[in-house]
Structure 1
Amino acid sequence: MRKAITKSGLQHLAPPPPAPGAPRSEPERQIRSTVDWSESATYGEHIWFETNVSGDFCYVGEQYCVAKMLQKSVSRRKCAACKIVVHTPCIEQLEKINFRCKPSFRESGSRNVREPTFVRHHWVHRRRQDGKCRHCGKGFQQKFTFHSKEIVAISCSWCKQAYHSKVSCFMLQQIEEPCSLGVHAAVVIPPTWILRARRPQNTLKASKKKKRASFKRKSSKKGPEEGRWRPFIIRPTPSPLMKPLLVFVNPKSGGNQGAKIIQSFLWYLNPRQVFDLSQGGPKEALEMYRRVHNLRILACGGDGTVGWILSTLDQLRLKPPPPVAILPLGTGNDLARTLNWGGGYTDEPVSKILSHVEEGNVVQLDRWDLRAEPNPEAGPEERDEGATDRLPLDVFNNYFSLGFDAHVTLEFHESREANPEKFNSRFRNKMFYAGTAFSDFLMGSSKDLAKHIRVVCDGTDLTPKIQDLKPQCIVFLNIPRYCAGTMPWGHPGEHHDFEPQRHDDGYLEVIGFTMTSLAALQVGGHGERLTQCREVLLTTSKAIPVQVDGEPCKLAASRIRISLRNQATMVQKAKRRSAAPLHSDQQPVPEQLRVQVSRVSMHDYEALHYDKEQLKEASVPLGTVVVPGDSDLELCRAHIERLRQEPEGVGAKSPTCQKLSPKWCFLDATTASRFYRIDRAQEHLNYVTEIAQDEIYILDPELLGASARPDLPTPSSPLPTSPCSPRLRSLPGDAAPPTGEELIEAAKRNDFCKLQELHRAGGDLMHRDERSRTLLHHAVSTGSKEVVRYLLDHAPTEILDAVEENGETCLHQAAALGQRTICHYIVEAGASLMKTDQQGDTPRQRAEKAQDTELAAYLENRQHYQMIQREDQETAV
């Protein structure tokens, strides 16, 4: 008999309970935000994070909802692994409806460990669901009412398949079907591979000590993974098509970005393949997964995080070593740039990142040994009390340097250690670097560097050449990138006297920098190329600042030997296989493409990210470019740059001719459910035809928001050069102030120039008519964006929540009319979303009655945000 899965059938969607004899959790359970690897781990345990998400009714239902009983607002939490939302006091109530999270392991007593196993779906009820039903292909009707209890979809938190919650689309038979684990199945570690081992029950305390002593003697002859008993065992089922992935996230990298992105990985992957490096480092996880075939690693952090993982792999001596991909979250990210992963994570969807890791090319990376010992020839007068005899690292992947750059990095490092709260963003970090570098330049602390060093490369003494150059910094470089993306050796083809620079050729590049060449480095220059070598002997006669892959110290007079250590296996982000045509995958690539270019402001990008169509409407046409059909974005950038001087396809008098800022970047408008930024360092990996359909969208951070569009006045220029200007200048200085009726008439007729003229002549923008309607009410009723923006920029803020005789604010009116852009303007200006009209409706409810679900979703999101702000303010008081 076919049945639809209803709210009353929640228990049918829960994963199977633990096997008999498996450890049971206590009723009073810790609210966990990390994965539990202890022997007391709970089967199907949720991973909770605080959230301000609205629109999802508490998952336990009214019968068990504590907040419903208390009838007050309480905090909410969201499970990162299955994305259900509950009130914090209701977490314990999940036991009563028997709903567990997707299981991340299996019990040792549940079945024979040699028996073939498969993963079952983990079905979850959803009141909101993107995409389309897998059965009927239709979209999901969104129920955005705050107190709605209606289930619109049932989806699996493993494979992400979704169905309508009705008999014709989802039947009971589908509950027991094997799960494919979705589009990222090749990198997901199935829970059937992870086995919880049971500790023997007949061990007594008296015998444990003897066994431990015997075990320690035997363990000295065993491998590093066999040194002690672990609660969990990994028993993989190898497949040539699988590339299982371990994700290591440094939550402190790049202004604490890692703490936010870890939740996304918990959703797409098995939570037991995602590790927070602040919880003990990578060693335990790598030991546990050492026997997994085709294993890959994703290091989410800066170059230091990558070096930490590579050094741990060296210690464990894994054969073969798993290749390491990079999600750059640090400040410099030079290794990530070299391997095409970009200069820093912005907002690329995690699903895209997982695809890149799976498809990436495996390459080799040279790693170099550093051996330092005190210089016995240095006199006691050269000693520095603040100096150390040890380097911070004994191996480097990127570079080793001494002098000016190391001194700046050392000051940054010491300041961050003293005040970590001041270094919580990548931008702030870079600004501090710039300020420290300038002050160090004025002091000239490294100007005598050449007098205190001796450099011998492959037996050749370079000291005379260095003394002639008088550098303030010397870099021993392994990769092409340095100092947040610069190329100190020069671009390919610029160094004819040397071999091309590579990160896997067993050679180091030695470069000297004067202050002039250091300054030119940021604008495309390079340093003085000294040599390429396999071994370096460096001798210093005094304490000098040095840095190893960004880790600085002040090193006492020393002898330093640099030699090749080994080669690490890395994953390099690959260029997409082919250029797809703009409109159809079946058409051949045209010889030329004529593409419209449109700009998006940062303000609109952040405000409208939830809706592609609205963001397209908010874009500003820039011009048209003609590029070859197989162009990548790097080539296309050069064509777009020309629009800054001579925009194509745009009239000379058009406001869109304003200058394009140098910090613009491309937006991918097609390969994900939303727009996302493409890092400039990755432009050569993407074809024009892959990120655009009808036109190319670019993000210009210096472009003003929607008010900067050609048809709207800018807040910074309330009276722009326009046909209105002469009229304003012609007003007589002694004219009587305009009447309120004149202002209302201008707003009704959508006469923007007249309204400006009357306002400049002394008109009152807070005037109301006989029904208490403000000028803003009239502007909204006519849909005049220009007049609305002008009133929001110039009228007192009281106009936002002013009500007419039926209790409607201007936001009620705009929501009822489905005016999305105007609603966005009014909400961002600070209007209240909690005000109700005489029928008791909020603006969100008016949008729902108008059947504009997308607008209602936006208003609900902002309404919930305002509620949280108000609660925080009341708590503070």
Structure 2
Amino acid sequence: MDSPTSAGDSSTARIVARSSMMDSIRACGLSGLAGVRIDKEVLRRRLLMPEYLRLAMLDSIKKKDVDGGDQHFRLHGSDDVPCPESPMVVFINPRSGGRYGPILKERIKQLISEEQVFDLHDVKPHEFVRYGLACLEKWANNGDRCAKETRQNMRVVVAGGDGTVGWVLGCLGELHQKGREPVPPVAVIPLGTGNDLSRSFGWGGSFPFAWKSAIKRTLHRATMGPICHLDRCSWHVVLQMPGGEVVDPPYSLKATEECSLDQTLEIDGDVPDKVNCYEGVFYNYFSIGMDAQVAYGFHHLRNEKPYFAQGPITNKIIYSGYSCTQGWFLTPCMSDPSLRGLKNILRMHVRRVNCSEWEQIPIPKSVRAVVALNLHNYGSGRNPWGNLKPEYLEKRGFVEAHADDGLLEIFGLKQGWHASFVMVELISAKHIAQAASVRLEIRGGEWKDAFMQMDGEPWKQPMNKEHSTFVEIKRVPFQSLMINGE
């Protein structure tokens, strides 16, 4: 074992690890709402926006023009129009998890309206923020009472996996950056495979079997649930890579013209004449190495053969089987550079809490995946960092881990066997550091690609022999808001 845990902590951890059944119950809306009858028409009145607002927002989004829906306001006054108590929009990723998105889309349209349900293949969340919400804000400032109340009280539901939730939250974060408050809070319908972010906020870890009644209960809970402030629970990622390389990053990582890397840590070697920069936000974890490579391969397998994606349980079985084929469990040739540890390509610096100096942290030779974990849900509800004894924390210079402490827990996974034992909590992960900021430097050599992922959304990162790729992670300076589903 890498570190001991107390008997009580170990017992508690196992209870958490075996909570998938309770997650399903919560996802079905049976926790807290058991026996409560939710009237469909009453719920609809609470959620449904007036038609002229719905159409104005939709036209603005389609035309990518804040003024695109003006005609609907000129035709309809708002003085005698009732405003909804909890106006709501729903984003659905039809390709998440078991691909229940199309079914959910039709069901939710029946419960609310077609214009308030957005397929993420057709409408991106940043388009909703920049045009749909901006349309409401414009007419609220022009004196439209219903537009003002709708904008103030709006809530958002995301039907998808952790990556989809993070994508929407990151786009909504633009509102805070530009002073366009309030930021709508977000609830979740878990459609992904792991759904660790969803679990962390009480929305369950799997799509329920009794989905028709569950959707109605979920929308009801989304209107009533308390709001959690995530000002200390989200992390900004900057990626700087040599220019000329081609990368296909996840939706949550966007191209930007400038890289804001910390200048107090000097870069060794020459900086290329041209660099490409990306930035984004994650809420649960960032990882590099073999776990991201397995996730990348699984995503491509599922996209090429969608008939495999029949539900979270099926996905997990396929995922486990796929990981066995990638050399993580059985390394056929240690001389193959693609199967060596991350020490060969990765250099890591961290800033500890209340410290301005960067400190280089060695990567253990045996480690093949490095994970920076925030919310302590990883691998479908596990906590690989563990509940550590006080004497071990003191010895290593760590503090007790909390989701809102402004620290990332950085740990390593060795082989697939080690990762498997960590997931069932027979042993702990390889504890590396706790950090308030992280700088990763990746240099190729014989390696051509590295694999990374943010909140379960993986990508292949090309590497250069002459110039390094940098990833810098810092806490987000603005708030994101989640609705607590418990």
**Interval containing the TM-score (normalised by the shorter chain):** 0.5 to 0.7
1:288 alignment counterpart: 132
Aligned equivalents of 1:539, 1:421: Cα separation in 2: 38
Is the Cα–Cα contact under 8 Å of residues 56 and 69 in structure 2 kept in the other structure? Answer: no
Is the Cα–Cα contact under 8 Å of residues 392 and 552 in structure 1 kept in the other structure? Answer: no
SS in 1 for 2:47: coil
1:558 alignment counterpart: 469
Q: Does 1:333 find its partner at 2:195?
A: yes
SS in 2 for 1:357: helix
Aligned equivalents of 2:43, 2:388: Cα separation in 1: 38
SS in 2 for 1:261: helix
Aligned equivalents of 2:170, 2:114: Cα separation in 1: 24
Deviation of 1:370 after TM superposition, in Å, equals 1.9
Is the Cα–Cα contact under 8 Å of residues 98 and 309 in structure 2 kept in the other structure? Answer: yes
Q: Aligned partner of 2:342: which letter?
A: L
Deviation of 1:308 after TM superposition, in Å, equals 2.2
Deviation of 1:517 after TM superposition, in Å, equals 3.6
Q: Aligned partner of 1:472: which letter?
A: R
2:451 alignment counterpart: 545
Distance 1:323 1:493, change over 3 A: farther
Aligned equivalents of 2:95, 2:299: Cα separation in 1: 14
Which of 206, 216, 233 is 1:344 aligned to? 206
Distance 1:245 1:476, change over 3 A: same
Q: Aligned partner of 2:424: which letter?
A: V
Deviation of 1:328 after TM superposition, in Å, equals 0.3
Which of 281, 293, 300 is 1:414 aligned to? 300
Deviations 1:528-563 (CA, angstroms, capped at 9, x unpaired): 232221111111222422222222233214122111
Deviation of 1:501 after TM superposition, in Å, equals 3.1
Q: Aligned partner of 1:288: which letter?
A: G
2:429 alignment counterpart: 527
1:367 alignment counterpart: 234
Deviations 1:584-641 (CA, angstroms, capped at 9, x unpaired): xxxxxxxxxxxxxxxxxxxxxxxxxxxxxxxxxxxxxxxxxxxxxxxxxxxxxxxxxx
Deviation of 1:504 after TM superposition, in Å, equals 3.2
2:324 alignment counterpart: 438
Deviations 1:657-713 (CA, angstroms, capped at 9, x unpaired): xxxxxxxxxxxxxxxxxxxxxxxxxxxxxxxxxxxxxxxxxxxxxxxxxxxxxxxxx
Which of 431, 453, 477 is 2:346 aligned to? 453
State the TM-score, normalized to the length of structure 2. Answer: 0.65
Which of 257, 267, 288 is 2:100 aligned to? 257
Is the Cα–Cα contact under 8 Å of residues 511 and 527 in structure 1 kept in the other structure? Answer: yes
Aligned equivalents of 1:475, 1:528: Cα separation in 2: 10
Distance 1:564 1:526, change over 3 A: same
Which of 368, 374, 385 is 1:478 aligned to? 374
Deviation of 1:320 after TM superposition, in Å, equals 1.4
SS in 1 for 2:181: coil
1:650 alignment counterpart: none
Aligned equivalents of 2:154, 2:345: Cα separation in 1: 47
Correspondence 1:357-756 to 2 at 5 A: 357-365=222-230, 366-374=233-241, 394-439=280-325, 440-441=327-328, 442-443=330-331, 445-458=338-351, 459-464=357-362, 466-467=363-364, 470-491=366-387, 496-497=393-394, 498-515=398-415, 516-524=417-425, 525-542=427-444, 543-555=449-461, 556=463, 557-565=468-476, 566-574=478-486
2:117 alignment counterpart: 274
Is the Cα–Cα contact under 8 Å of residues 48 and 84 in structure 2 kept in the other structure? Answer: no
Deviation of 1:408 after TM superposition, in Å, equals 0.7
RMSD of Structure 2 on Structure 1 (CA): 3.4
Correspondence 1:811-850 to 2 at 5 A: none
Deviation of 1:391 after TM superposition, in Å, equals 8.3
Deviations 1:202-244 (CA, angstroms, capped at 9, x unpaired): xxxxxxxxxxxxxxxxxxxxxx963545564598789999222
Q: Aligned partner of 2:470: which letter?
A: R
Aligned equivalents of 1:453, 1:572: Cα separation in 2: 37
Deviation of 1:432 after TM superposition, in Å, equals 2.7
Aligned equivalents of 2:78, 2:404: Cα separation in 1: 32
1:299 alignment counterpart: 158
Deviation of 1:434 after TM superposition, in Å, equals 1.1
Q: Aligned partner of 2:475: which letter?
A: L
Is the Cα–Cα contact under 8 Å of residues 238 and 278 in structure 2 kept in the other structure? Answer: no
Aligned equivalents of 2:281, 2:206: Cα separation in 1: 24
1:702 alignment counterpart: none
Is the Cα–Cα contact under 8 Å of residues 334 and 483 in structure 1 kept in the other structure? Answer: yes
2:88 alignment counterpart: 245
SS in 1 for 2:46: coil
Deviation of 1:353 after TM superposition, in Å, equals 0.9
2:48 alignment counterpart: 188
Aligned equivalents of 1:390, 1:522: Cα separation in 2: 36
Q: Which has the higher contact order (CA 8 A, sep 6+)?
A: 2
Is the Cα–Cα contact under 8 Å of residues 391 and 553 in structure 1 kept in the other structure? Answer: no
Aligned equivalents of 1:506, 1:263: Cα separation in 2: 40
SS in 2 for 1:256: coil
Unmatched 5+ stretches in structure 2: 1-37, 138-150, 243-266, 352-356
Deviation of 1:569 after TM superposition, in Å, equals 0.9
Identical aligned residues as a percent: 29
Aligned equivalents of 1:330, 1:263: Cα separation in 2: 19
Distance 1:489 1:231, change over 3 A: farther
Deviation of 1:447 after TM superposition, in Å, equals 3.6
Aligned equivalents of 1:230, 1:503: Cα separation in 2: 44
Distance 1:395 1:282, change over 3 A: closer
1:627 alignment counterpart: none
Q: Aligned partner of 1:553: which letter?
A: W
Deviations 1:158-202 (CA, angstroms, capped at 9, x unpaired): 975xxxxxxxxxxxxxxxxxxxx51454333344755669x9xxx
Aligned residue pair count: 361
Distance 1:305 1:195, change over 3 A: closer
Aligned equivalents of 2:278, 2:312: Cα separation in 1: 23
Distance 1:491 1:392, change over 3 A: farther
